[in-house]
Each structure stands twice: as structure tokens, then as C-alpha cells.
Amino acid sequence: MEFNDLPGNYREMRLLPYKKDLGYSYVFGLFPVIELADNLPSALFRIVTSSRLSESNRKLLAEKTESLGLAVTEDDRAIERLSPKENCFAIGVFRKFEAAADTERDHVVLVDPADKGNLGNIIRSAVAFGIKDVVLVGRPADLFDPHTVRASMGAIFRVRPSFYGSFDEYAASFPRRQYYPFMLKGRPMEDAVPRRDSPVSLIFGNESSGLDDSFLSVGEPLRIGQTDEVDSLNLTVAAGIAMHWLAFSEPSRGERK
């Protein structure tokens, strides 16, 4: 895992309201903070709590962070200044991170996803279906915006996010894979069985425009069966269905152990 560089005094520096160009971000709420401490402690560098945090939860946080050498500080003004919600009792401050996608594992590939909530929910579903590599292509929504982090319910700290300027750049880095672009012009997913001769990449496009026709020549394009009463499925729903298909379909020959 690689982390953003921060000033040498980053453990004591004044925390600013979130902006995309900051090298750090926030996770709001006790449960997501614990997820961060449990799964990516090397990114966590400060925890701020409200005076309204219960004594039992304060003790729980102290137990979680004792081995990390982190102080849990109480600062109602910082909570009020940084959190968009009145009922926030704990904030975790973490350095932004990325990781090289695992060549031997399945990937979820998102091309220009625009909605932060969708992005966070897809990450949560990916973890639920055992996929830890989330690849963001083009100009995606901000992965580290607190809205994205919150939508993931802490699952963001369980994945390896990677970033590519274009799909061609990504494909050149991972040439020996089974590619499944999900698009309306694909063959029915219900008639397809995921191959397991090599790792799989499930590919999804932008919420409004989907994947363009160039993806018809990428791997095996698939579409999810539905009635004609709606134009298409929400991106989060489509990604969840596709990940379930990959996780639970009887694989074709060459299943990887």
C-alpha cells in the first residue's frame, strides 16, 4: 500500500475541511473509525471524539488504538467544523492511499463513475463478494471524499484501489485476463458462465452513458436481463448483480484454486 505524503508535522497540524487536493481525508462515525483501525491502521494518524461519546465507546476506541500509539483526543469544535452531521461522535483522520492491483485476483473496473454514493456502495458490495481490487479509470468520483467513505461503511479500508488514466492503459497492464464489460449490447449474462482459466475483470461504465461501443471488442460483453419498462439498472445494482454472478455461478473449465 502506498500513502500520500504529508508535512512532517501532520500528526499535530490543524485539520482543514475536506477538499480533493488534501493528502488526507476523514471517516465519520464510531464503526467506520474502528474499521479503519482494524484494517488499515498504517493510514490512520488521528482520532477526534465528541464529549457526547459514551464512556464505553471511548474505552473501546482506546483499546483499539493503544497498540497503534495514537492518542484519542476530545474536541467538540473540531467535530462541529469537520463533520456534516450533528450526531457524529468520532472522526478518524487518514492518509489517502492506493495499491497495485493483484494480477492473480479478480477486479472490479469502474470507468468514469460519477456518483460518490454509488462508488462507496460498489466498494461495499465488492468486499461482500470477495473482490478486493477496485480499479478506477478515467476521471472518477473522488474515492476519498467523506461521502464515498461513508457510503462504503468502512469497506474502503479493505480494498486495494488503483487508478488508470484510460482503459487501454489498464488493459495493457493486465493482458491475460477474462474481461466482461457490462453493457446493453452484450449477450445475456444469464446465458454466460464465467471462465476461470485466468482472473476476471468485471467492467462498468458511467451512470449516464455506460460503456461506449469500443468495449464491444473487449472480452465478452454481457447485459443483465430486465423488463423493457426501464432503460437500465442503477450502476450500484448492476455491479452487485454481476459480482454475485461471478461469485456464485458454476465456473467453466480451468477453475482456479
Q: Does some domain include residue 257? A: no
Which residues of the chain are under the pLDDT cut of 50? 253-257
Residue 218's pLDDT is 96
Domain end marker among 49, 73, 97: 97
What is the C-alpha to C-alpha distance for residues 253 and 207, in angstroms, rounded to an integer?
Answer: 33
Cβ-contact 91, 33 below 8 angstroms: yes
Q: Does some domain include residue 254? A: no
Q: Any idea which residue has 450533528 for its cell? A: 86
Based on C-alpha coordinates, what's the Rg of the chain? 20
Domain end marker among 48, 71, 97: 97
Name which of 49, 59, 10, 9 is nearest 29 in CA terms.
49
**Neighbouring-strand partners of residue 110:** 136, 204
pLDDT tens-place string over residues 8-20: 888 888 899 999 9
Residue 230's pLDDT is 82
Domain around 44:
7-97
pTM score above 0.95: no
Q: Cα torsion for 29, 116, 190, 186, to the nearest 10°?
A: -170
Name which of 127, 117, 106, 138 is nearest 206 in CA terms.
138
- Average pLDDT, rounded, for the chain: 92
Residues 67 and 112 in one domain: no
Q: Any idea which residue has 474536541 for its cell? A: 75
Residues 133 and 49 in one domain: no
